[in-house]
Structures are given as C-alpha cells and as structure tokens.
Structure 1
Amino acid sequence: MCEVTGANAHMAAIAAKKKLSSQFFKKGISIALFSGLMYGFYSAFMTLGMTKGVWSDWNGANTAGLSVFVITYMLGALGSAVNDSCSAVWALIYAGIKGKAGDFFRCLNTTPGRVMILAALIGGPISSTAYVIGLQMAGSIVIPITALCPAIGAILGRILFKQELNKRMMLGIAICVIASFMIGSTSIGADAPKGAFLGICIAFIAALGWGFEGCVAGYGTSMIDSEIGITIRQVTSGISNLIILLPIFGMMAGSVKLSANLVFQAFGSGSAMFWFALSGLCAFISYMNWYRGNSMCGAALGMACNGTYSFWGPFCCWIVLGVFGGMQGWSLPPIAWIAAVLMVFGILVISMNPMDLFKKKEAE
C-alpha cells in the first residue's frame, strides 16, 4: 500500500514538474513575441518623433539651409542617437531600481563587458543608423529586410565560429532571401517611392551589422547578467552615436560644429522628445524581453519569436503613422505583407525545426 502511494506521489511530482516546465516555456514564448511587438512600436514612435518640433523644419519645406547629405544621412544618425540615448537612460533607471547599477560599472572593464561594448559599437552607430536612414528613405518596407539578421547571423556563425549550418537552416535562409526579393521588387516599380531602392539597400547594412552583433553578443551575455548586458549595449550605443558617428558625419558635411548644433536642437525640442522618450522605452523593453524570453524558451525559438517584428514593424508604423498620425505612404502592398509573414516562417526554420513545437505539445 505504501509502495503504491509512493509511486503515485512520484508520478504526481513528475506531472507537476512537466506542467511547470510547460508554463515556463509558454511564458517565454509570450515574452519573446512581446519583444517583437515592442520593436514595432519603437520603430513607429521614433519615426513619428522625427516629424515633430525642429525635425519638421529640417525635413520639411524649411530645411534651414541643410544640405541633401545632412538631411538624408546625418539626420538619420541623429535620430538613432537620440533614441538610443533615451533607451540608455531607461536602462540605467531600471538597473538602479533593480539594484544593479554597481554591477553595470563593474562589468564594463571585464572581458564579457568589453565584448558587449564591441557588439554595441557594431549594432549601434552602424546598424541602428542604417535602419533609421532606411526607414526615412523607403518607409516601413525596410523592416522585414532588417529581419534578415538571424539568417546572416547563422552564416557568420558558421564562418567565424564554425557553428552548425545544416540543410534545415539553409532552407530557412533561402526562404528569407526569397522574401527579401519579394519585398525588394516593390521598390523598382513605376509607383515606388523615390529613393526606396537605395533605402532597402541601406537596410541590408543594418541586417548585416545586427547579424554580426548577435554572434558577438551571444558570447558576452553567456557570462554576465542579461539585464546588465543590455544596459551596457544601450549606453555604449547612445554615447558612441553622439561622440563618434555624428562628428564624423559633421566633418563629411564640412563642419563638426554642425553636428553639435543639431544635437542641442534635437534634445531641446520638447514636442519631439516626448516621442523619442517613448521610442527609447519601447526599444529598451524590446531588448530586455528578447533576452529574457531567450532564457526561458531557448535562444533559437526566442530569436524566431523576436523576428516577428518583420510583421509587427510595418503594422505598428501603419497604425501609429498612417492611421493615428494621418501620414501618407505607410501602407504596404499585399506582396510585402505576404513576404513579411514568409520572413517570419523562414526565421523560425533557421532557428529550430517547426515540428518540434508539435512534439513539445504532444509531450505535455
């Protein structure tokens, strides 16, 4: 009798453990999916901020004597710098609330901390700026293009770290490439916006940089608290944009003082900064939940769930900018929506065998 009772208790404990594991796994998926949604809102709010206050003068009929180079590229870098700076402030506030501010400063001079700084230098000044410039030139259609970063990360991981690149992953990469060509085809028609093709090409730079960042950052976050890693990433990105990239663009435009002048004007524009503060918060939440979701449901599935921003990005831009903001040009043709969903599926195939999702469900 006692043996039977003990066996039943053991089976009940196993069932309870499986239920907890299942709930933990499902919560991780929900968190990772939420990170993709927040990335969409970050893109939309940042773009909206770049139409308000002093930005409307810079981009409108009154260009304040700014050259085409400054309007096209330098303002894109400035938008990225303001957003990442706001995101860094939110990250530092969060670290302070969690009592991790001291850990942040201690980790800066460690090997994983330096790795995260390197990742931020690649993903911040380079990729984030290319992303913003692409958004300004071609609209939300560039967002699924930047979602190629997991495919690029898989290829770079194979080249740099000899990581596995099997037939399934190659199939997923092929699906993503096909989806990107479908999206690119919308930029070469007669009714395509001016500069859309160049904007999409610039978006590929963002995808390449983020793919490389993912390879590098994966090493760093395996040895330090992911919340500290995110804080290092956002702070480094914001500072490097302000003190490295913008002065370089200023020199290219013929005046370093111009970059400083634009920075002070941008941060002093209250009507725009409200939206940048909101976009920075969404960016921080997106990164934070991406890392948290990865730790709960696995990096592979977490990457696929976060990759849904290839759909959420255009959708949020359409809602915030097109519907709420009343701006023209933020709706996408049907082929772009289909390609965005196809891109999500391709990312899922790269990250994991989709059939494993059903196996996990059967095992519960």
Structure 2
Amino acid sequence: MYEVSETVSLEAIAAKKKLSSNFFKKGISLALFSGLAYGLYTAFLTMGMTKGVWGDWYGSNTAGLSAFVVAYLLAALANAINDTCSAIWALSYALVKGKFRDFLRCINTAPGRIMILAALIGGPIAGTAYVIALQMAGSIVVPISALCPAIAAILGKILYKQELNKRMAFGIGVCVFASFLIGSTGFSGGASKSTVIGLLIAIIAALGWGFEGCVAGYGTAMIDPEIGICIRQVTSGIANLFILVPVFGMMAGGVNISVDLAMQAFTSGPAMIWFALSGLLSFITFMSWYAGNSMCGAGLGTACNGTYSFFGPLFCLLLLGVYGGMDGWSLPSVAWLGAIVMMFGILTISMNPLDLLRRKKEEV
C-alpha cells in the first residue's frame, strides 16, 4: 500500500514538472512570436506609407506639401491610422470574447486610468517618434528603439526603487554599446542630417516605450491583460487621430490641412490594406507579449519581445527591399551584429542567461 502511494506521488510530481515545463516553453514561444509580429508590423506599416496617395506625398515633388508636413505630420497620421486600425481589431476581439462590457467598466477604474496614461506615452509620443525615425533613417532605427527594456530597468530603479544589480547594469552597458555600434553604420561615408535626426528621434521612442513599460506594468497587474490591451489601443488611436494629428496640422498652417490629409489617407484603398495588416500585427504583438509574460515571466518575456531589434530590419529588407524592389533597406553586417548583441543585452537585463541552462538540466 505504501509503495503504491509513493509511486502515485512520484508520478504526480513528474506530471506536474512536465506540465510546468510545457507551460513555460509555450510562454517563451508566445513572447518570441510577439517580437516577430512587431517586426512584421514595422514592415507592413512602412509599406503602407509607399502605396496609394502616400506614394504621391513621399514622391519626388512631395505633392506640394511643406517639409514639416512630410517629415512630421504624415508620420503622425500614419501612426494614427495604424493605431485606429489596431483599436478596431482590439474592440472586435473584445466583442467576440464577450469582454466589451468589462472594457467599458474598467476604463474609469484606477488600473484603467493607468493604462490610459501608458497609452498616451507609448502611442502618440513613442509610436509617432518611431514612425518619424523610420522615415528619416530607415530600418537602422529599429534596434535603437529596442533600448526600451534597458531604459525601463533604469526608470524602474528611479521611480519604483526596483532592483538594478550588476548583471542588469552589465546588460544595459551591452545594449548601449550595441546601439552605438548600430548607429555608427549610419555615419559611414558621411552622415546625412536626416539620418542623425532619425537616430535621435528613435531614442525618444525608446524613452517613451521604456516609461510606458514602467507605468503599464502596474496597471496590467490589476486588470485582465486582454482588457488592458483594448484600453491601450483605443486610447492611443483616439489620441493620435483627434489630438496629435490636428496639433501638427495647426503647426503646419491650419487644422484643415490635417483633416484633408486624413480624408485622403483613409480613402486610399491600396494603402489601407497594408495599414489594416499593420494594425492587426500591432494588436497581436501586445496580445502575445502579455500572454507570454504571464507564462514565462515578465523579464524573460520582455527579452524575447526585444528580438524585434533583429526581426524589424529583416522583414523590412524582405518586404520592402526584396519584394518591393526599393533601395535603402539593406543593412551592413555591422548593424546585424549590433542587433544580435542588443538581443543578448536585453536578455541579460531581464534574467541570468545561465538560468536557461540550469532549467534544462533540472528538466533532464
């Protein structure tokens, strides 16, 4: 009787370990997929900004638009359209899952307001900065923007007194080194003013997303991640379309400019197909990232999501360079090396890489 009980107990422990291991591996897979999805989002969004009316706006004669409109207003409009499409996907998902009423109830709660704040930082500010940087300097800015986990670790220490040990400091140093390595390729043969400004604006995107990560971390700990993501995307879409774009319009000469451009953009079928896809991928990125974090831990999940520093330039090269036949989307080997180094730095910030080896030994 005792032997039977002990056998059953050992089998239960083994089954529990196997279940835990599978759960952990699935979380890593989802977090890695979120990085891949963000790389695709970057490529689809950029492709959309070359189609339909956007091709005229960014053409050789810029369709009579001012330099300010081309550099900043159009980027803000593209980000607004992407986030609006993403919000529609998020609301549709909430309706299908039967969580739309929960979404409405959570908006005016403390966690809901925190998510709104995070969305305002990460959407209109960081998101628009990211799109502007892409248009100015190309896919070289993607790994630079991936400094956000390093920035989040520093801000977490300053704002919330979170741990910042030697390993994490080393990882931050690796990320900074990788960013300089990548940025240096933009200066080969003489750097253009546009490239320099694009790289600097990419740092603004990294700062915004790093701060968003700190703020949203508290909110998502108290709210259903699916509801939190819905609040985030809807807030970002509304703020971009009805606040940021009109503000840029007034800076360009009048709100009518932004209204006219928005009407043309939303009715440009060839471009909207790509924006619908980029909005879907943007929504999927957050969905899979949050789900992965809950299964393998926020630290490792963030590190896996940071692989977009590699996937972003890769998919831009494949979609825009190879498929679209556009010049300027290939990266030098030093930049690819820097992206890989950046991924290692992000992993080191989030966790001790040796823990993965130890976990494998324990499973054996």
Deviation at 1:63, TM superposition (A): 1.9
Matched, 1:144 2:179: no
Matched, 1:6 2:5: yes
User: What pairs with 1:12-161 in structure 2 (closer than 5 Å)?
Assistant: 12-161=11-160
Contact 1:122 1:209 in 2 (8 A): yes
Contact 1:144 1:311 in 2 (8 A): yes
User: What pairs with 1:1-364 in structure 2 (closer than 5 Å)?
Assistant: 2-190=1-189, 192=191, 195-364=194-363
Residues of 1 paired with 2:60 and 2:142: CA distance? 27
Deviation at 1:53, TM superposition (A): 0.4
Deviation at 1:189, TM superposition (A): 2.1
After superposition, the C-alpha distances for 1:323-348 in whole angstroms (9 at most, x for unaligned) are 11111110100000000000000000
Displaced runs of 4 or more, over 3 A: 191-194
Deviation at 1:192, TM superposition (A): 4.8
Residues of 1 paired with 2:31 and 2:84: CA distance? 24
Contact 1:145 1:200 in 2 (8 A): yes
Kindly report the root-mean-square deviation, in angstroms, between the aligned alpha carbons of the 2 structures: 0.8
Deviation at 1:193, TM superposition (A): 5.7
Deviation at 1:92, TM superposition (A): 0.5
> SS in structure 2 opposite 1:64?
helix
Residues of 2 paired with 1:316 and 1:65: CA distance? 31
- Percent identity, aligned pairs only, is 69
Deviation at 1:47, TM superposition (A): 0.2
Deviation at 1:352, TM superposition (A): 0.4
Residues of 2 paired with 1:150 and 1:305: CA distance? 11
> SS in structure 2 opposite 1:331?
coil
After superposition, the C-alpha distances for 1:232-290 in whole angstroms (9 at most, x for unaligned) are 00010011001111111111111111111111111010100000000100110011000
Deviation at 1:100, TM superposition (A): 0.4
Deviation at 1:186, TM superposition (A): 1.1
Deviation at 1:160, TM superposition (A): 0.5
Residues of 1 paired with 2:359 and 2:226: CA distance? 29
The one-letter amino acid of 2:111's match is: P
Deviation at 1:62, TM superposition (A): 3.6
Residues of 2 paired with 1:195 and 1:179: CA distance? 21
TM-score for both structures, normalised by structure 2: 0.99
After superposition, the C-alpha distances for 1:141-197 in whole angstroms (9 at most, x for unaligned) are 100001000000000000011100000000000000000000111122226566111
Residues of 2 paired with 1:301 and 1:243: CA distance? 36
Contact 1:138 1:193 in 2 (8 A): no
Contact 1:294 1:302 in 2 (8 A): yes
The one-letter amino acid of 1:32's match is: A
More moved, 54-63 vs 18-27 = 54-63
Q: Which sections of structure 1, spanning at least 5 residues, go unmatched?
A: none
> SS in structure 1 opposite 2:64?
coil
Deviation at 1:14, TM superposition (A): 0.1
Residues of 2 paired with 1:148 and 1:302: CA distance? 15
> SS in structure 1 opposite 2:63?
coil
Residues of 2 paired with 1:155 and 1:288: CA distance? 25
> SS in structure 1 opposite 2:44?
helix
Residues of 1 paired with 2:94 and 2:301: CA distance? 23
Deviation at 1:75, TM superposition (A): 0.6
Residues of 2 paired with 1:209 and 1:358: CA distance? 33
Q: Which sections of structure 2, spanning at least 5 residues, go unmatched?
A: none
CA gap 1:247/1:117 in 2 versus in 1, 3 angstroms: same
Residues of 1 paired with 2:237 and 2:323: CA distance? 28
